[in-house]
Structure 1
């Protein structure tokens, strides 16, 4: 059972970050984005989850490419 909670905690910690970034981008609350993804997943039989994974992947790639550097010497 402990393994289940560790996996759940891992996904909650990293999964909610996607919703938070989307909410910050659009200027709305993260709770609204999370519930929208849940409803979209139930209504479209998994399309919302696939969209969520695509956005998470896109944000991860964007963060890798556009890292903020404090000076020129951080290259």
Structure 2
């Protein structure tokens, strides 16, 4: 059971930050976005979780492609 809590803590601490980034973009609290994902997951029988993973993957790829450089010499 201790192993389960370590995994749970890892994902809570170093998650994909999907909810936080969506909340910043929309100007609302991250808690509202998280609960929306939870409700969508229960209502659609797992589609919300798949949507969450898709958005996490999309944000990761976007961060890798569009990196903010301060000057020309950072290449």
Q: Which has the higher helix share?
A: 1
RMSD: 1.3
Moved more, 62-71 or 10-19: 10-19
Give runs of aligned pairs for residues 26-45 of structure 1, distance below 5 A.
26-45=26-45
TM (norm. structure 1) is 0.90
2:51 counterpart residue number: 51
Which contiguous aligned blocks of 4+ residues in structure 1 show a shift greater than 2 angstroms? Answer: 13-16
- The offset of 1:16, in angstroms, is 6.0
Matched pairs, number: 75
Unaligned runs of 5+ in 2: none
Unaligned runs of 5+ in 1: none
2:69 counterpart residue number: 69
TM (norm. structure 2) is 0.90
1:24 counterpart residue number: 24
